[in-house]
């Protein structure tokens, strides 16, 4: 493998590096632009799992890392919000096996509800952050992240962005790592039990680790200097660095790979050698603020370039200080619910009944667009249930009765179950209705499995959560399952009936995603055949 | 003087733009050239607009994305999408577009119906070298709707706009698609090339 030049995406490069570096388990939750990492890791022969959500994924990853196994945890940027609780305290612990957490950010929101800049998390949680500029660095930094993680016993964040994830550039892989020691539990209570007595010294240890990593970064960090004229010096990170190289090839450029903790002395020396210093970074002014706080005089970008992705043209404008209005790109063809999509029936019914719809994250968010326009809120994974309940609590009765929460199957498992607990525990006076739009897959991100499908990441069978049984056991008063192929009228009648009752209700509308249906049938058939074969074997007389 | 070809491939989700960019990248790798590609993935899966940037060079390339006015070739899988990406084309560049439009479903009744013809007229007036390909006829001739991508690639290659010969693309197809689809794609490649020169 070594020496061969492969064209691959940043996502695939992370997966390949994880394989070569001997990662024992990859875990995560699907989300554009991170999804392909674990799928590729699985395809290459790595062990990869989807967790119900990012918090659980990181917790599983902490367990494997505590046990001494190299670990990869993947998620999109907003997923890190869900995983933030374990993240901040994982930083205090000492881990044994290297843990690289991929945060795939989406500046420009190609497929996300916000464009938050997760570089803030590195500083907030006090964790090292690596930011590759292309697929080669995605490969190298995955490996480097595991090494940093093991050397300082600290989780490392690998921050990718959409263009690094989904651009294909050449990668020259290394030889695979030598066989690693088998995971084994070594007790170290003060390093892993974060009660105040142990967490107080742990916080001091964390700051000491960061100081050491910063020192290492000054001399040996993955930071690259491109020689150029002293008139213009550029400090850049991530994909913005390659745009800058093209926008100003004559400039002297320092590209920072380990962006937290920063090599401030090196940057200061660089700054002293140039006449003008400009920081080129996508998203928030994180790097420029850090340089200014350290007393390094640097120019940032005008506020208008905080929004959206950067590209060569925008970097040229930043360097020229150009704040004139940018040409508005023509609007693209909007996405839409597929022809034959089972969600269409549901949104027709909700529109016809003039429901107030608290929506959620998934394909079905497209129900907000014409011809349905049948969604009134959408914030984050799982929010539909809480938001719907909140509206029910305070709206006048005639409006409260029209409030419905709509959530997909994968999103329900991700963070809707606690919403049901809230509904049963604090029911509004008018009751409430939750619709689970169960299309049997995580459709939006490209048809991934989840705990409600009964299949693993590689589509082989496993345990399956029944939403209706779960709702009943949690104490929801009315639980119904409707095949949405049953037609709009039946569904409409049922919804109208339930809205009229001052009770808690949950309806599962069940019909496979039209795109996934042939594959689902294939997986089900394969599972049935395997089961039959196993039964056949069991029936053989022992001998 | 270094050689560089910048290609924009514009379509809507499901039309096979990703394979087209993969084939150009494959041909470039085979020729020992540098290549960077970038796709939009995500909402694209639900039929939204997709644009791929493909950059080929014999010298290192920095950014995977082109700035406006940098593309040598614009391949439109749909006339409206070609118009939408026109800003990327350099003066004197080449546009190869499929003739058949894909209308957005959610056109409001008040607005004029979407006309592919208006889009083609716009392309015709832009000063670029233009080849309009009857993708539907080629797909019918080959017997598959899925070969539109390779037919358009064949058209652009036939015009000499991509810097690779049809033979080089044949090799790239053999290396990139499943064996049972190879012949079909190679026929589409040549049908596209013939159509562009006609």
By Cβ distance, the residue of B37, B62, B83 closest to A245 is: B62
- B102 pLDDT band, cuts 50/70/90, is confident
CATH class name, domain A224-320 = alpha beta
Overall pTM > 0.90: yes
Whether B40 and A166 lie within 8 Å, measured CB to CB: yes
The whole-angstrom distance between A44's CA and the closest CA on chain B is 18
Residue at B127 is within a domain: yes
**Pairwise CB contact (< 8 Å): A335 & B48:** yes
Count contacts between A and B (CB, < 8 Å): 117
For B:114-173, CB contacts with A below 8 A are none
* The token pair that represents A21 in the structure block: 């570096």
Nearby residues of A128 by Cβ (< 8 Å), 6 or more positions away? A122, A145, A148, A152, A154, A156, A157, A210, A213, A258, A260, A261
Residues 6+ apart with CB under 8 A from A148: A98, A128, A130, A154, A156, A213, A258
Q: Do A333 and B83 touch (CB under 8 A)?
A: no
Whether B51 is in a domain gets the answer yes
**Nearest by CB: A242 against B63, B66, B67:** B63
Q: Where are the alpha helices (H) located in A434-516, listed in sequence order?
A: 467-474, 488-500
Instruction: Tell me if B110 is assigned to some domain.
Output: no
The answer to whether residue B43 neighbours chain A at the CB level (below 8 Å) is: yes
Question: pLDDT of A51-79, one tens digit each?
Answer: 999 999 999 999 999 999 999 999 999 99
Closest residue in chain A to residue B68, using alpha carbons only: A313
* Helix, strand, or coil (residue A266): helix
Instruction: Tell me, yes or no, if B40 comes closer than 8 A to chain A by beta carbon.
Output: yes
**Domain definitions of chain A by residue range:** 6-179+189-220, 224-320, 343-528
Number of alpha carbons in the 13 Å side-chain half-sphere of residue A503: 14
Quick one: closest CA in A to B42, which residue? A111
Strand A277-280: give its sheet, edge to edge.
Answer: A224-226, A251-256, A229-237, A277-280
Query: Which residues in chain A show pLDDT less than 70?
Result: 1-3, 484-485, 537-543
- Which own/partner contact pairs does A52-55 have at CB distance under 8 Å and 24+ positions apart? A52/A413, A52/A414, A52/A450, A52/A451, A53/A29, A53/A79, A53/A82, A53/A83, A53/A381, A53/A413, A53/A414, A53/A415, A54/A28, A54/A29, A54/A79, A54/A80, A54/A82, A54/A83, A55/A82, A55/A83, A55/A85, A55/A86
Structural tokens at position A7: 């064209």
- Total tally of structural domains belonging to chain B: 1
Strand order, beta sheet including B129-133: A6-9, A167-171, B34-38, B49-57, B4-12, B71-76, B89-98, B129-133
Place of tokens 């913005």: A240
How many Å apart are CA A79 and CA A121, to the nearest integer? 12
From CA A243, how far away is CA A27, in angstroms rounded? Answer: 32
Q: Residue B130: count other Cβ atoms within 10 Å of its Cβ.
A: 16
The reply to whether omega before A371 is within 30° of 0 (cis) is yes
**A87 close to A127: Cβ distance less than 8 angstroms:** yes
Q: Are A299 and A279 in contact (CB under 8 A)?
A: yes
Q: Which residues, including other chains, have CB under 8 Å from residue A498's CB and lie 6 or more apart?
A: A433, A478, A480, A505, A507
Q: Is position B162 within any domain?
A: yes
H-run or E-run covering A124: helix A119-125
- Do the Cβ atoms of B29 and A7 come within 8 Å? yes
pLDDT of residue B114: 76
Rounded Cα distance between A107 and A29, Å, is 19
- Give the residues across from B97 on adjacent strands: B76, B132
H or E element, residue B52: strand B49-57
Contact call for B108 and A370, based on CB within 8 A? yes
A333–B34 CB contact, under 8 Å: no
Preferred mutation among A40, A255, A332, A439 to probe B, highest tally of B CBs within 10 A = A332
Residues of A in contact with B35 (CB under 8 A): 7, 168-170
pLDDT at A187: 95
**Angle made by CA atoms B41, B82, B152, in degrees to the nearest 5:** 85
Interface residue A163 vs chain B (CB under 8 A): yes
Q: What is the rounded distance in angstroms from the CA atom of residue B38 to the CA atom of residue A397?
A: 51
Contact list in B for residue A135 (CB cut-off 8 A) is none
How many Å lie between the alpha carbon of B40 and the closest alpha carbon of chain A? 7
Question: Do A343-528 and A6-179+189-220 have the same topology in CATH?
Answer: yes
Q: What is the pLDDT of residue A484?
A: 63
CB contact under 8 A, B46 and A335: yes
Is B42 near chain A, with CB under 8 Å? yes
Residue of chain A whose Cα is closest to the Cα of B60? A246
Using one digit for the tens of pLDDT, what is the confidence trace for A16-35? 999 999 999 999 999 999 99
Nearest to A411 by CA among A343, A349, A351, A474: A343
Cis omega (within 30 of 0) on the bond before A261?
A: yes
Residue A440 Cα to chain centre, angstroms? 20
In this complex, do A168 and B42 lie within 8 Å of one another by their Cβ atoms?
no
B109 is a domain residue: no
pLDDT of residue B111: 46
Within an 8 Å CB–CB cutoff, is residue B110 touching chain A?
no
Question: What is the CATH class of A343-528?
Answer: alpha beta
Among A169, A327, A370, the residue with its CB nearest the CB of B106 is A370
Q: Looking at beta carbons, which residues of chain B come within 8 Å of A32?
A: 41-42
Cα angle: B24, vertex B30, B32; to 5 degrees: 105
Whether B110 has a pLDDT exceeding 50, the answer reads no
Pick from B37, B83, B108: CB nearest A167: B37
Q: What confidence tens digit (pLDDT) does each residue in B11-42 have?
A: 988 889 999 999 999 999 999 999 999 987 65
CA distance B71 to B85: 10
Q: How confident is the model at residue B108 (pLDDT cuts 50, 70, 90)?
A: very low
Strand order in the sheet with A356-358: A356-358, A403-408, A432-438, A504-510, A478-483
SS3 (DSSP) at A246: helix
d(CA A539, CA B1): 74
Q: Are B94 and B29 in contact (CB under 8 A)?
A: no
Looking at A64-128, which runs of residues are DSSP E strands? Answer: 71-76, 99-105
In whole angstroms, what is the distance from residue A478 CA to residue A427 CA? 13
Q: Residue B117: CB partners within 8 Å, gap ≥ 6?
A: none
- Inter-chain touch B87–A243, beta carbons under 8 Å: no
Q: Is residue B121 part of a domain?
A: yes
The CATH number of the domain holding residue B189 is 3.40.920.10
Range with top average pLDDT, A370-374, A528-532, B70-74, B99-103: B70-74
Q: Which residues are A160's β-sheet partners?
A: A104
Position B111 in a domain:
no
Among candidates A134, A170, A335 on the partner chain, residue whose Cβ is nearest the Cβ of B47: A335
Say which of A32, A311, A366 has its CB closest to residue B42: A32
Name which of A449, A468, A533, A535 is nearest A506 in CA terms.
A468
Query: What pLDDT is recorded for position B30?
Result: 93
In angstroms, rounded to a whole number, what is the distance separating the alpha carbons of residues A285 and A305?
10
Q: For residue B68, with 0-12 CB atoms within 10 Å meaning exposed, 13-18 middle and 19 or more buried, which class applies?
A: middle
CA distance A502 to A174: 64
Q: Verify whether the Cβ–Cβ distance A33 to B42 is below 8 Å.
A: yes
Which of A170, A239, A333 is the closest to B49 by Cβ?
A333
Provide the CATH number for the domain formed by A6-179+189-220 in this structure. 3.40.50.970
Query: How far is the C-alpha of A173 from the C-alpha of A460, rounded, in Å?
Result: 30
Strands (E), A47-145: 48-50, 71-76, 99-105, 129-130
Please list every residue in chain A whose beta carbon sits closer than 8 Å to the beta carbon of residue B25.
7, 168
B66 touches chain A (CB under 8 A): yes
Q: Which of A163, A245, A337 sits opposite B65 (nearest CB)?
A: A163
Question: Would residue B153 count as lying in a domain?
Answer: yes
Could you list the residue range(s) of the whole structural domain that residue B27 is in?
4-100+117-197
List the single residue in A168, A313, A366 with the smallest CB-CB distance to B37.
Answer: A168
A96 within 8 A of A42, measured Cβ to Cβ: no
CA separation for the pair A59, A67 (Å, rounded): 12
- N-terminal to C-terminal alpha carbon distance within chain B: 33
Backbone phi, psi, residue A88, to 5°:
-65, -30
Q: Which of A50, A11, A42 has the alpha carbon at shortest distance from A442?
A: A50
């Amino acid at each position: 493998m070594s020496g061969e030049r492969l064209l691959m995406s940043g996502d695939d490069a992370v997966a390949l590096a994880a394989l070569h570096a001997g990662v024992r388990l990859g875990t995560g939750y699907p989300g554009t632009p991170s999804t392909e990492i674990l799928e590729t890791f699985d395809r290459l022969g790595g062990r990869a799992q989807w967790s119900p959500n990012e918090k659980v994924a990181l917790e599983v990853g902490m367990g494997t890392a505590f046990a001494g196994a190299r670990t990869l945890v993947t998620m999109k940027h907003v997923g890190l919000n869900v995983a933030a609780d374990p993240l901040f305290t994982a930083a205090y612990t000492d881990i044994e096996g290297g843990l690289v957490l991929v945060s795939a950010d989406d500046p420009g929101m190609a497929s996300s509800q916000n464009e938050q800049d997760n570089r803030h998390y590195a500083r907030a949680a006090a964790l090292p952050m690596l930011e590759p500029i292309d697929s080669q660095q995605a490969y190298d930094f995955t490996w480097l992240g595991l090494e940093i993680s093991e050397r300082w016993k600290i989780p490392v964040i690998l921050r990718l962005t959409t263009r690094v994830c989904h651009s294909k550039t050449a990668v020259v892989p290394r030889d695979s790592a030598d066989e690693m020691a088998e995971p084994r539990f070594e007790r170290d209570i003060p390093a892993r039990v974060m009660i105040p007595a142990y967490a107080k010294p742990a916080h001091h240890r964390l700051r000491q680790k960061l100081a050491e990593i910063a020192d290492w970064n000054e001399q040996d960090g993955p930071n690259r200097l491109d020689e150029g004229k002293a008139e213009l010096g550029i400090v850049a990170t991530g994909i913005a660095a390659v745009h800058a190289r093209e926008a100003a090839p004559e400039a002297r450029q320092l590209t920072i790979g380990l962006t937290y903790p920063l090599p401030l002395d090196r940057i200061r020396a660089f700054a002293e050698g140039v006449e003008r210093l400009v920081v080129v970074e996508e998203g928030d002014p994180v790097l420029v603020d850090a340089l200014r706080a350290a007393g390094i005089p640097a120019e940032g970008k005008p506020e208008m370039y905080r929004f959206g992705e950067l590209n060569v043209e925008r970097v040229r404008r930043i360097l020229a200080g150009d704040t004139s209005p940018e040409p508005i790109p023509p609007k693209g063809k909007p996405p839409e619910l597929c022809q034959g999509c089972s969600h269409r029936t549901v949104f027709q019914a909700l529109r016809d009944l003039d429901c107030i719809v608290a929506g959620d994250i998934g394909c079905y968010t497209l129900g907000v667009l014409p011809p349905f326009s049948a969604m009134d809120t959408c914030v984050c994974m799982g929010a539909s249930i809480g938001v719907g309940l909140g509206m029910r609590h305070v709206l006048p009765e005639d409006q409260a009765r029209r409030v419905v929460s709509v959530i997909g199957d994968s999103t329900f498992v991700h963070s809707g179950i606690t919403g049901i607990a809230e509904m049963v525990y604090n029911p509004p006076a008018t009751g409430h209705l939750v619709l689970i739009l169960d299309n049997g897959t995580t459709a939006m991100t490209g048809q991934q499995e989840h705990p409600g499908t009964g299949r693993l990441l590689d589509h082989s069978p496993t345990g399956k959560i029944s939403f209706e049984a779960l709702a009943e056991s949690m104490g929801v008063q009315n639980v119904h399952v409707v095949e949405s192929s049953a037609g709009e009228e039946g569904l409409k009648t049922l919804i109208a009936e339930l809205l009229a009752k001052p009770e808690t209700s949950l309806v599962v509308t069940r019909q496979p995603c039209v795109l996934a249906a042939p594959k689902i049938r294939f997986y089900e058939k394969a599972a049935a055949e395997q089961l039959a074969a196993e039964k056949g074997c069991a029936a053989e007389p022992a001998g | 003087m270094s050689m560089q070809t910048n290609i924009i491939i514009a379509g809507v989700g499901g039309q096979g733009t990703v394979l087209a960019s993969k084939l150009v990248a494959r041909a470039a790798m085979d020729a020992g050239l540098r290549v960077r590609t970038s796709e939009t993935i995500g909402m694209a899966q639900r039929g939204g607009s997709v644009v791929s940037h493909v950059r080929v060079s014999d010298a290192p390339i920095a950014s995977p994305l082109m700035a406006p006015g940098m593309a040598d070739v614009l391949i439109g899988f749909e006339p409206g999408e070609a118009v939408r990406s026109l800003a990327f084309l350099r003066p004197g560049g080449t546009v190869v577009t499929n003739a058949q439009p894909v209308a957005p479903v959610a056109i409001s009744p008040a607005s004029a119906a979407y006309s592919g013809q208006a889009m083609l007229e716009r392309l015709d007036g832009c000063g670029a070298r233009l080849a309009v390909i009857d993708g539907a006829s080629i797909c019918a001739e080959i017997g598959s709707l899925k070969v539109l991508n390779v037919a358009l690639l064949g058209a652009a290659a036939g015009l000499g706009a991509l810097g690779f010969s049809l033979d080089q693309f044949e090799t790239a197809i053999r290396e990139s698609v499943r064996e049972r689809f190879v012949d079909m794609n190679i026929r589409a490649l040549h049908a596209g090339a013939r159509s562009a020169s006609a």
